[in-house]
Amino acid sequence: MEKLLCGVDIGGTKLSAGIVERDGTVRSKITVYDHTGKTEHQIVDQIAGLIWDLLKKNNLTEQDLEGIGTGFPGHIRYREGVTITTSNLPGFKNFPLRKAIQDYFSIPVKLDNDANAQAFCEYKYGAGRGYSDVIFLTISSGIGAGIILNNKLYRGMTGTAGEFGHTIIDPQSEYECTCGNRGCFMGCACGLTLPQRFRKKIEHGMKTTLPLPPDFDYSHVDGKLIKQGIDSNDPVSLAIADECADYTGTGVYNIFQIFNPPVIILGGGLMNLGDYYFNRIRLKFYELARDMLYDPVQIVKSEAGEDAGLIGAAALLLE
């Protein structure tokens, strides 16, 4: 019998581990939220515990697993299995995460960036099925990506390839990215810009029709609020969705010119802004690409659901 997969998705708010079948079905999973205050070694200990619990619960042993695939929310040195940085968890500066997990198990452990894991999930089981080349972009509080070329993840020299979020697309922008540069794709188009954009519009005299309390703190503006604004035709929310979508359309256009890929998949929390936002992204893309589009490029929504990170991490064992 073919072995099962085990995936671990380390997030900034939740930590999931699961037993995944080779067709991408989650057989069993455990999610915890109390890992964020822990040290690196405590988190590794917790991960090992979750996996042992899963094995016991499912009447399995380590030998029933192909290995353990782990997605990490930050930069990693892929070959070495070492984390470089993360903005989602304390610590993990140059931490040998793969080895630390490996020390608990005798089966192979793989470690990759979480966006790479999600991209691989889309390629294997989602909107990228059937393509050998896939570019996956996740737009949420930040912007991450995964590049699949010739049926494999392209990781670059260190393992940090695919940082479209940090490419400069508008150096004259008023928005600075958390990386410190002005006009990154991420600094212009990610969820973190929503509060700034909202406040700026109000300060410039635009009126929102959203029912906000008089002492509303703009730092609480998020995708949910903007979605509510889009649905109720709030001019401020519509203008913000337009701006973010135009930058994302530009980013997608740049990806098209660089990779000439058959498919570009968009995922992440901001996609919950819905079709108004998604259609505007595509509109901007076609406005820029015009007669330079020699073959149809599919620009599609991510199909994998909330377990994409977990399933993708597990699927890395099949790469």
Task: Verify binding: residue 155, its own copies, rule CB under 8 A.
Answer: yes
Task: Verify binding: residue 258, its own copies, rule CB under 8 A.
Answer: yes
Of 110, 82, 84, nearest to 5 by C-alpha is: 110
Identified binder of its own copies from the candidate list 39, 42, 61, 257, rule CB under 8 A: 257
Task: Verify binding: residue 193, its own copies, rule CB under 8 A.
Answer: no
Task: Verify binding: residue 297, its own copies, rule CB under 8 A.
Answer: yes
First to last CA, the chain: 19
* Total site size for its own copies, rule CB under 8 A: 44
Site string for its own copies, 64-83 (x = CB under 8 A): -----------x-x------
Of 33-41, 116-124, 175-183, 209-217, the window that binds its own copies (rule: CB under 8 A) is 175-183
Q: How many CB atoms lie within 10 A of CB 209?
A: 12
Identified binder of its own copies from the candidate list 112, 114, 122, 163, rule CB under 8 A: 163
Identified binder of its own copies from the candidate list 254, 283, 300, 303, rule CB under 8 A: 254
Which helix (H) or strand (E) is 26 found in, with range?
strand 26-32
Among left, alpha and beta (phi > 0; psi -120 to 50; other), residue 31 is beta
Q: Which residues make Cβ contacts (< 8 Å) with residue 92, sequence separation at least 6?
A: 40, 72, 74, 83, 85, 86
Residues in the chain: 319
User: What is the dihedral angle through the alpha carbons of 98, 103, 107, 112, rounded to the nearest 10 degrees?
Assistant: -10
Task: Verify binding: residue 172, its own copies, rule CB under 8 A.
Answer: yes
Of residues 275-294, those binding its own copies (CB under 8 A): 288, 290, 292, 294
Task: Verify binding: residue 104, its own copies, rule CB under 8 A.
Answer: no
Task: Verify binding: residue 88, its own copies, rule CB under 8 A.
Answer: no
Q: Which is nearer to its own copies, 143 or 311 (CB)?
A: 143
Strand pairing of 82-85 and 75-77? antiparallel
The whole-angstrom separation of Cα 191 and Cα 259 is 25
Task: Verify binding: residue 295, its own copies, rule CB under 8 A.
Answer: yes
Binding site for its own copies (CB under 8 A): 75, 77, 84, 133, 147, 149-150, 154-172, 179-181, 250, 253-254, 257-262, 288, 290, 292, 294-295, 297
